[in-house]
Amino acid sequence: MNDIKLSARLQKVLDIASGFSSEKKRIIDVGSDHGHLAAVALTDQGFGRALLTDIHEDPARKSRDLMKGLSLDSRSQVICTDGLDGADLEDGDVVVMAGLGGNNMVDIIGRAVNVTEDSILRSVTWVLQPQKSIEILRSFLCEAGFTIKDETVIAERGIYYPIVAASYTGTISSLSLYEKYYGPVLIRKHEEGDVTSKEYFIRLDNSYKLRARGDKEVEMMLKEVVR
């Protein structure tokens, strides 16, 4: 145990990551900031090892200091790098990206896919909480051979954060515009009466109505929506 308390957003991301990993061999936190999520994953969630990456040296250094201060340095590795560059994926890894933009996530995942064996790639779970451009991320995942296994939303201080869990299957698929912008799993949850999804969709409705004034695709998408 440690005294670190994660935000509701990061705790939800970690809970989902834990739920999709029965063996909990290694968690990879891309853009790890100060290393709090990885520390809790090692001390409270049962993960055996952690790899933390950050593109900036200062947060990477703070992560190293945290791991050492909690006597977790023997079970963790901190790399100052862009995304997953130089970090080989291993069987059963759970990769977490929280707080990055959707376009940035697409770039990082795309580079990792290009250098990872198919058998390893199929064993990795990706838990992704983009700050923006989630529709671009969803489309990329489906077109690159990933399957969206789950989607959820966490509300924190009046802001709704969508979270996507995905894995590589090699099967290319496509999304309708409605699924692209609202999420295929979230649509199902909304139809089943999930309260948070309903609240989130109200926010999306209002946002997309404004965006549709200057975005033809969003305008077309709203014409598809039947609820």
Q: What is the pLDDT of residues 79-97, one digit of tens each?
A: 999 999 999 999 999 999 9
- End-to-end Cα, the chain, rounded Å: 45
Residues 119 and 147 in one domain: yes
Residue 3 forms part of a structural domain: no
Tell me how many domains the chain contains: 2
Q: Tell me, what's the pLDDT at 14? A: 98
Q: Tell me, what's the pLDDT at 226? A: 67
Q: State the DSSP code for 32.
A: -
Residues 52 and 162 in one domain: yes
The DSSP bridge partners found for residue 146 are 168
- pLDDT tens for each residue of 173-226: 999 999 999 999 999 999 999 999 999 999 999 999 999 999 999 999 999 886
Q: Which residue range(s) make up the domain with 179?
A: 175-227
CATH of the domain at 133: 3.40.50.150
Residue 1 forms part of a structural domain: no
- Is residue 37 within 8 A of residue 98, CB to CB? The reply is yes
Q: Tell me, what's the pLDDT at 225? A: 83
Residues 121 and 179 in one domain: no
pTM of the full structure: 0.96
Residues 154 and 104 in one domain: yes
CA distance 162 to 186: 9
Residues 100 and 22 in one domain: yes
Q: Which residues contact 84 (CB under 8 A, 6 or more apart)?
A: 28, 30, 53, 95, 108, 111, 112
pLDDT (mean) for 98-109 = 97
Residues 36 and 126 in one domain: yes
Q: Tell me, what's the pLDDT at 2? A: 72
Between 224 and 171, name the one with better pLDDT: 171
Please state, rounded to an integer, the average pLDDT across all residues of the chain. Answer: 96
Tokens of 49: 């090892």
Residues 116 and 27 in one domain: yes
Determine which helix (DSSP H) or strand (DSSP E) holds 162, and give its type and residue range. strand 159-168
Residues 166 and 206 in one domain: no
